Structure 1
Amino acid sequence: IRHSAEELSAFAPREGEEKELADRRALMMNGEKLAEGLNTARQALTNEEIERSLRTAQRQLENLSRLTDGKYDAIIDTLARAENELNEAASAVESECDQIEFDPREQEQVEDRLYALRSLARKHQTEPDALPALLADFEAKLSALDKGGDDLITLEKAVEQARVAYLTAARTLSEARKQTAEKLDAAVKAELPPLKLERATFKTQIDMLPESLWGADGLDKVTFTAATNAGTDAAPINKIASGGELARFMLALKVNLATSENIPTLVFDEVDAAIGGATASAVGERLARLARENCQVLVITHSPQVASFGAHHFRVEKGETDGKTITTVRELTDSERREEIARMLSGAEITDASRAAAVELLKNRMNA
């Protein structure tokens, strides 16, 4: 665009210039004939005989008009106008004669200019008379580009300032994460032995992300890692823990994060897998604590110890009605709950000992 604008600006085309040059060229190409004809016309119009004839006729009519009370005044006026127009025509032809100056060099310049004008129009696929408007359009676009360059510099400075501010805030966040991670690791570690994960380790791993992944959450990738057996390397917790272990790790985490999160409902499925006795009681106690603090906790369990800590007890049953398999969920009454926990303790046959144990477990819930 800049090259085209400079080219057009140097040429300086004018609207209507093509016709002006074409007319000028035609005039110069017929200059000799025009000069001869105009000279002949000039001589005819400046012939003194014409002027004398008009004046003679005018005087005669003026004399007659006086004798006839102005009868010929209109004719006299017409003759006067004719004389004036004759003089004007003679002056105009005289002026045209003065302009007829045949100069071969000037004709060559006119032809060169006309050729260059039409060539530029073909180059830009437009009409010669549209070239001035095209130049104005190019100049407007260049002005916008130049202004855009200034805006780009301003934006680049703003981006750099934003980057500095972002890095400052993100690094502050990273440091806060590292300090919080140490506290969280210690708190989760303290929760693991009662959950029968005494040989497990837990660590919050914080790694810096590549710049392309930086975002509103900062520069870090946070991964909860664990090792469930002595001598093994820590790995992301979801890749190395079994379903039950993962549930217990999540319980240990949730117990410590409950006050900082706003999750209305948590669901734990088989959080008591492969544990029993005191460990199951510890799991139940922590679930109850979590529910009391800030959210609703739903637990699917086969452990009577865990079930005894619930504020409500629902039994899920599957049966057949009219040839269709039906699954029902029903909240148990206090007496039904005691019987259900006794059944969970003893199996198919409920004994007095299992009922007594169920009562003790429910007392523990009340005291928890």
Structure 2
Amino acid sequence: MNKSVIFLYFFVVMLSTSCAQNPENKVSTPQNSPFTAMLFVDELQIPWGFAFLPDGSMLITEKSGEIIHFYEGKKTIITNIPEIYARGQGGLLDIALHPKYEENGWLYLSYASPDGNEKGGHTAIMRAKLKDNALVDKQVLYKASPNTTKGQHFGSRIVFDNDGYLYFSIGERGERDINPQDITRDGGKIYRLYDDGRVPKDNPFVNQSGAKTAIYSYGHRNPQGLVKHPDTGEIWDNEHGPRGGDEINVIKKGANYGWPVITYGINYSGTPITDKTEMAGMEQPIHYWVPSIAPSGMEFVTSDVYPGWKNSLLVGSLAFQYLERLELDGTKVTLREKLLDGEGRVRCVKQGPDGLIYVAVEGKGIYKLVPKN
């Protein structure tokens, strides 16, 4: 394909996004920040996920394969973690607590696992308990297959819904033309399980021959954000597109999100993936980014700590190294705002039990956004 055709295609994609839910596709930077970013946990390399324990301390995953317990300024390494397949985008990924953690003590991990008969690794979900700074009672709830030595698109976030179901995401592992549209294969999916790993009987594909019955939705590329809407209880995801076409989706039972049959992105080389951005039977994103911001981490603001932020959606940008705040009218994005501009690759964002926002930045650590009075 010659350069003029490539340019024309990219221009059309850019033009199409200008007519999307954010008409001008512009992100602004506030002149006066309502917070001061305080480095709360320092000297972290790739803090992929973190969770708050009931005593206010934190469990932090380092992608390289460490769980750090951070309490009152002290870091303690948690031992007896599972074997990690650390390659490319794979490693020790997300961490989450059971909604009834104070009663049952279960915590959940997503990670790239080498378990299986093939070389390489694939995403796994484990639950375990914490005792004397070690993981005990470890149980693998799900292990995707087959392994591959490819280093991209493991997913993987974890979230619970209001009914206690466990949702997790697994990327398509670099097999875009094989995995996302095939429900008999792992990868490019959002999954739903009971908290103990059992498959719910009302999952959408339990009665379909050969299907991976844990699948809840399919046609995804590489979802690295997964969060529960605080009012509706719906599960929302964000996922990486290629060059353009990062998406925010509301996850629906049995729905097909289109990758790679429809997309607002193009190949990294500039060539088209498809000429289709929509198709019957495939879901449209509620928002998409062109150019790609490389989204990772996702959180709704439910506290009143920051003036004007309540009900906003926060998304980390790896590519442009900032935290994006999106104001919403239902599922329509009405404003995009750039925070922590240039601070670094934002990997994860969470609202703490104190109502403050905590942001994990690669190569630095976890920042606490302290409101200005």
TM-score range, shorter chain: under 0.3
Q: Per chain length, whose mean CA-contact separation is higher, i.e. which structure has more relative contact order (CA < 8 Å, sep 6+)?
A: 2
Length-normalised TM-score, structure 1: 0.21
Structure number having the greater strand percentage: 2
Q: Report the structure number with the largest CA radius of gyration.
A: 1
Structure number having the greater helix percentage: 1
